Each structure stands twice: as C-alpha cells, then as structure tokens.
Amino acid sequence: MRRPKLYSLAVALAIAAGTVGLTACVESDPDAADTPESAPTVANSAIQTDAEGMTIEQEPAPREGEEDEPAVELSPEAQAGQIVFNESCTTCHATDGVGDGPIGPNVEGVGLSNAEIADVIQNGRGAMPGGLVTGQQFDEVVAYVEAIQ
Ligand code: HEC
C-alpha cells in the first residue's frame, strides 16, 4: 500500500504547487510591469549611452576573413540578366536565384559550369521548361547565373 500513498502525496504536492503558482499570478501587480515614467527613453536599444548620456560608439568587430570582401560586381550584362531572372524565373526560383524558390532550387554558388547553365536554361531540365528566355535576354540571364556561381 505504499504506492497509492506516494501517488496521492505527489498529486497533493502538484496541486499545492499549482495553487501557489496561480496565486502568485493573481497577486502580481500589473502596474509593476510598466516602465516607470522616470526611466530614460532610448529610441534604439542598440545605441548605448554612458553615465553622462553620451553615445557609446560601437563598431561591430569584423568577422575573420570578412574585412574587405567586395560585393559581387556584376557586369552590365549580368545586371540586365538579374532583372530578366527576377521577371522570368522567379515563378519557381527565389528572387535573384538566392535560396530555394517555391519550385526551383537555389542557383547561387552551386558551382554550375557555363555550359551547364546555358544548357539548363535553353533546354530545361526536370520540372523546368526550356526556352523561357531567348535572344538577348537568354545571354543576359546566362551571364547573371554565371556571375553568381
Ligand atoms: C516552372 C518552374 C521553373 C522556372 C520558370 C524556371 N526554373 Fe530553373 N529550375 C526549375 C527546377 C525544378 C530545377 C531543377 C531541375 C532538376 O535538376 O531536376 C531548375 C534548375 C535550374 C538550374 C540548375 C540548378 C542546378 O543546381 O542544377 C538553373 C541554372 C536554372 N534552373 C535557371 C533558371 C533560369 C535562369 C530561369 C528563368 C529563365 C529558370 N530557371 C526558370 C524550375 C524552374
């Protein structure tokens, strides 16, 4: 007969704990949670001020290898291709081809060769139809996808 006793003790404890918890909630003063009016207002919590109210300048430390990393420079043709991409390819691919789209995969930094890129865009592959873009737009979008490998 030890078990039922222990069990009811546990239940009693649980109920007691619950009651204490509830009471604590009910008794807490909702006004106490408000910010006191005397508290200084800081518009942006990322901006820190010292004791005199002077702003402490905070330069985020550059992460290793990131210092002078240039953004990918797109040639004018690739820039035009980016616009073509976002007009003609983003029904399936993500904007700029960066990240997976609703149907098409990420096309940035996946190491596609130039020949592969031209082939997929011209002839399609799997669920991707070919011939979506032709002529100058084809050249431009190929240049864009090449530029982001
Ligand atoms: C109807 C949806 C759809 C559209 C529109 C579409 N794609 Fe795709 N794309 C896909 C799918 C799905 C794949 C994956 C094909 C496979 O490997 O089975 C793919 C693959 C690719 C790949 C190869 C990725 C890899 O890692 O092998 C490239 C490059 C690509 N698409 C570029 C484009 C470009 C550029 C356009 C616009 C001209 C475009 N896609 C339009 C669905 C689409």
Instruction: Average the pLDDT over 62-80 and give the result.
Output: 74
Measured between alpha carbons, how far is 142 from 53 in angstroms, rounded to an integer? Answer: 54
pLDDT in tens, 83-138: 999 999 999 999 999 999 999 999 999 999 999 999 999 999 999 999 999 999 99
Mean pLDDT, the chain, integer: 79
Which residues does a 6 A CB cutoff place in the pocket of ligand 1? 85, 88-89, 91-93, 103-105, 107, 110, 112, 117, 120-121, 125-129, 132-133, 141, 145
What string of DSSP letters covers 129-141?
ES-SS-HHHHHHH
Domains and CATH numbers, the chain: 76-147 (1.10.760.10)
- What 3-state class would DSSP assign to 125? strand
CA distance 108 to 12: 60
Q: Give the pLDDT confidence score for residue 25 in this predicted structure.
A: 46
As given in the structure block, the two tokens for residue 61 are 């430390």
Q: Whose CA is nearest to atom 43 of ligand 1?
A: 128
Host H or E run for residue 81: helix 76-88
pTM summary value: 0.65
Instruction: Among 86, 89, 142, say which to mutate for ligand 1: greatest number of ligand atoms within 8 Å of CB.
Output: 89
Q: Are 117 and 145 in contact (CB under 8 A)?
A: yes
